[in-house]
Structures are given as structure tokens and as C-alpha cells.
């Protein structure tokens, strides 16, 4: 199993950062480079407790579908999305939010396990870990830019 942690400091209120992180529209905008789109469940706006979203995107030249459910929710401090259906054997993404020195500290902890036994473990450590870290870092930089400017208003109107 792979565990990735990414911490992003954002000069914006904690509630705004929390809501942008659960925004379906922000997620799609931040993953345009892989064409990720919400195709079922909550497909626009903000996802909340016990709700699901199904994503479709192109990873490594393959169309991938992934359904997640919000399995824990404590606004504005924490939420968790867990895979319901998809290509991973296991996938869980924890989102933590705290305030430090007047800024929001957003910490993502993503854990996943690839299928296919030993071959899957090799792929997850060599290829998937780098890809998922890059995806998360790009998403967080997008959220930071949006949250720190007036652009957040178009997503959280």
C-alpha cells in the first residue's frame, strides 16, 4: 500500500479552503490535463456527507472510472472520500484543515493499493505513487491560487 502526504498552506479562511476542496467544479478544473469529469452522483457544486461521485478520466492512456463516497465529514476540519468502485484494490483520501498563524494548513493523506498482487505492488511504487502525488500537488496548487484570489467566488457562489 502507498501512502502520500501533501501539505499546502493557503492564505484564505478555513471554510473557503474546505469548500473548495470538496467542490466538484474545482476538481474538474484542476484535472483538465487528464480530462477528469464527474459523470454520476454529485456532478457539480459541493459534495457532502454520504454522497457519491463517479469520475472518468484518462490516466496512462486508459479511460478510468472511479466512484468515491464521502465517508467522514466534519466541516471545516476534516472529510474523507473512499473508493466504492474502481481500479484500485483500496483507495482512501483524508482531507485535514487547520489554522496556523492566520493561514489554512490543508493536509491531504492519500492511501491506495493496486490490484494484481506483486505486479500491482511494483506498479504502485514505481508509477502510480509519482502520478498520484503529481495529481494531488497540481490540484492543491490550483485550490491555493483560487482560494487566495477572488476567483473562488465563481465556484462557491
Domain of residue 111 covers 2-155
| pLDDT for the residue numbered 131 | 85
| pLDDT for the residue numbered 32 | 81
Helix (H, G, I), strand (E, B) or coil at 23: strand
| CATH number of the domain within which 65 lies | 3.30.530.20
Number of domains the chain is built from: 1
What's the pTM value of the predicted model, to 2 decimals? Answer: 0.92
Smallest CA-to-CA distance from 22 within 153, 112, 156 is with 156
Report pLDDT digits (tens) over 106-155.
999 999 988 766 666 666 677 788 888 999 999 999 999 999 999 999 99
- Asked if 44 contacts 24 with a C-beta cutoff of 8 angstroms, the reply is yes
DSSP percent split of the chain into helix, strand, coil, nearest 5: 35, 45, 25
Report pLDDT digits (tens) over 48-78.
999 999 999 887 778 889 999 999 999 999 9
- Asked whether residue 157 carries a pLDDT value surpassing 80, the answer given is no
Amino acid at each position: 500500500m502507498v501512502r502520500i502526504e501533501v501539505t499546502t498552506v493557503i492564505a484564505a479562511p478555513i471554510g473557503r479552503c474546505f469548500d473548495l476542496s470538496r467542490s466538484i467544479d474545482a476538481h474538474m478544473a484542476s484535472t483538465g490535463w487528464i480530462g477528469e469529469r464527474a459523470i454520476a452522483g454529485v456532478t457539480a457544486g459541493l459534495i457532502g456527507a454520504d454522497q457519491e461521485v463517479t469520475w472518468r478520466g484518462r490516466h496512462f492512456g486508459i479511460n478510468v472510472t472511479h466512484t468515491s463516497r464521502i465517508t467522514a465529514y466534519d466541516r471545516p476540519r476534516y472529510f474523507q472520500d473512499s473508493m466504492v468502485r474502481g481500479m484500485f484494490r483500496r483507495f482512501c483520501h483524508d482531507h485535514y484543515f487547520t489554522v496556523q498563524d492566520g493561514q489554512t494548513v490543508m493536509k491531504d493523506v492519500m492511501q491506495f493499493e493496486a490490484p494484481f498482487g506483486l505486479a500491482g505492488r511494483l506498479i504502485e511504487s514505481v508509477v502510480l505513487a509519482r502520478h498520484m502525488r503529481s495529481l494531488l500537488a497540481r490540484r492543491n496548487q490550483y485550490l491555493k491560487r483560487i482560494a487566495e484570489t477572488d476567483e473562488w467566488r465563481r465556484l462557491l457562489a
